[in-house]
């Protein structure tokens, strides 16, 4: 697949990452992982394993959160994230982030957080109403800490997350104004131009909890089964009928995974004209997915055999991340005069 990259320059610093609530899937791959593999050669990149953030609404399930730190790290390594190029780190081991967030909480009002459309939507989705864990409401301040600690200039996000980035920049401006110095750096949201990969059932979002995801560690059989179950054009009952390509999950996936654009255009034309069986198109998609996932699966299995080596990589990344975050925190506290000895 050819990712459609955010526009970055060598001077940019990217901060992105994943909540460690489950292994990653093809949707993550298309939406962000593939980009990260390319971007790590272009600019500075920090990748956050967000265990602490995952706990904001998984406090009762902390063992899951903990266990998936390694799973997500394996996914990163499997797709080609290079820890020598990208700084991969564990959020809960960078306490400077909590400390920064605690100061940022003074720069945001409750009303402002409650107006945040992303938070509003999530509160509705999760049925919290007024019983929102405070850590969930205050998450934008924590995210601002994650971003600003590394002076990130670019944060790749879905369109629904843009208000979070605006909140971060509000905090940046407010902090800089209150200490009258350009300590913190504003960032820009980069929304990937590639559409979100739908679930194999055609639902808008691929998600482990919806049971419509293909994990990056899927076996060849899992992949074959997933493609078999995949929704096509419900009106395309006989092979000779014309078929619809738009909204056809198999073609949406081919858009992401078929590298030969001309061949794909021709395939679509044949499908539209009629005479092309779903099974043929699915066969082609399955091949592409098997090709894409085979090396990922192999690399994942290789790293999984040596978990200690993975922990060592994370340890080194976390140390690098802490150094940078500590430097920013020192500047923030220094600007407020909170340096005593």
Taking CA 69 as the corner, what is the angle to CA 66 and CA 71, rounded to the nearest 5 degrees? 120
- Work out whether 337 is an interface residue with a copy of itself (CB under 8 A): yes
At 129, list the tokens: 């109403």
- Work out whether 38 is an interface residue with a copy of itself (CB under 8 A): no
- Of 327, 320, 334, which Cα lies nearest the Cα of 87? 320
Query: Whole-angstrom Cα distance, residue 98 to residue 144?
Result: 11
> In angstroms, what is the minimal distance from the CB of 277 to a copy of itself?
50
* Selected range binding a copy of itself among 27-35, 86-94, 158-166, 220-228, rule: CB under 8 A: 86-94
Cα–Cα distance list, 96 to 140, 253, 322, 328, 331 (Å):
16, 41, 7, 9, 12
> In angstroms, what is the minimal distance from the CB of 282 to a copy of itself?
41
Query: Whole-angstrom Cα distance, residue 310 to residue 76?
Result: 11
Handedness of CA 297, 298, 300, 304 (dihedral sign): positive
- Of 74, 90, 78, 80, which Cα lies nearest the Cα of 23? 74
* Selected range binding a copy of itself among 1-9, 79-87, 124-132, 241-249, rule: CB under 8 A: 124-132
Among 32, 40, 52, 324, which residue sits at the site for a copy of itself (rule: CB under 8 A)? 52
* Beta carbon nearer to a copy of itself, 137 or 256: 137
* Selected range binding a copy of itself among 11-19, 74-82, 101-109, 157-165, rule: CB under 8 A: 101-109
- Work out whether 75 is an interface residue with a copy of itself (CB under 8 A): no
User: What track of x and - describes contact with a copy of itself for positions 292 through 311 (by CB under 8 A)?
Assistant: -------------------x
Note the maximum CA span of the chain.
81
Report the interface residues with a copy of itself, using CB under 8 A. Answer: 51-52, 55-57, 59-60, 62-63, 65-66, 69, 90, 92-93, 95-96, 98-99, 101-103, 105-111, 113, 130-138, 141-142, 178-179, 311, 314-315, 333, 336-338, 340-341
């Amino acid at each position: 697949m050819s990712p459609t990259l955010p526009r970055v320059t060598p001077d940019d610093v990217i901060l992105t990452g994943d909540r460690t609530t489950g292994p990653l899937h093809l949707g993550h791959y298309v939406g962000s992982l593939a980009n990260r593999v390319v971007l790590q050669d272009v600019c500075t990149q920090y990748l956050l394993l967000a265990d602490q953030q995952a706990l904001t609404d998984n406090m009762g399930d902390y063992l899951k959160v903990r266990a998936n730190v390694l799973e997500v790290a394996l996914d990163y390594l499997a797709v080609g994230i290079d820890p020598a190029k990208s700084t991969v780190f564990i959020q809960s081991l960078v306490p400077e982030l909590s400390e920064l967030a605690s100061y940022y909480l003074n720069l945001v009002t409750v009303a402002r957080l409650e107006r945040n459309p992303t938070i509003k939507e999530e509160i509705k989705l999760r049925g919290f109403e007024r019983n929102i864990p405070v850590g969930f409401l205050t998450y934008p301040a924590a995210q601002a800490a994650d971003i600003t600690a590394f002076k990130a200039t670019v944060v790749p996000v879905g369109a629904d997350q843009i208000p979070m980035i605006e909140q971060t920049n509000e905090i940046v401006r407010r902090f800089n104004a209150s200490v009258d110095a350009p300590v913190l750096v504003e960032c820009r949201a980069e929304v990937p131009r590639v559409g979100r990969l739908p679930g194999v059932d055609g639902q808008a979002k691929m998600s482990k909890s919806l049971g419509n995801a293909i994990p990056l560690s899927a076996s060849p059989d899992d992949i074959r089964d997933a493609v078999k179950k995949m929704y096509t054009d419900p009106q395309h009952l006989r092979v000779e009928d014309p078929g619809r390509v738009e909204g056809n999950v198999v073609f949406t996936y081919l858009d992401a995974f078929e590298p030969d654009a001309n061949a794909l255009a021709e395939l679509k034309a044949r499908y539209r004209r009629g005479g092309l069986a779903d099974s043929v198109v699915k066969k082609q998609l399955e091949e592409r997915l098997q090709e894409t996932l085979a090396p990922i699966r192999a690399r994942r299995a290789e790293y999984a055999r040596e978990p200690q080596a993975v922990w060592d990589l994370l340890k080194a990344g976390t140390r690098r991340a802490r150094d940078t975050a500590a430097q920013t925190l020192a500047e923030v506290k220094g600007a407020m005069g909170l340096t005593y000895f």
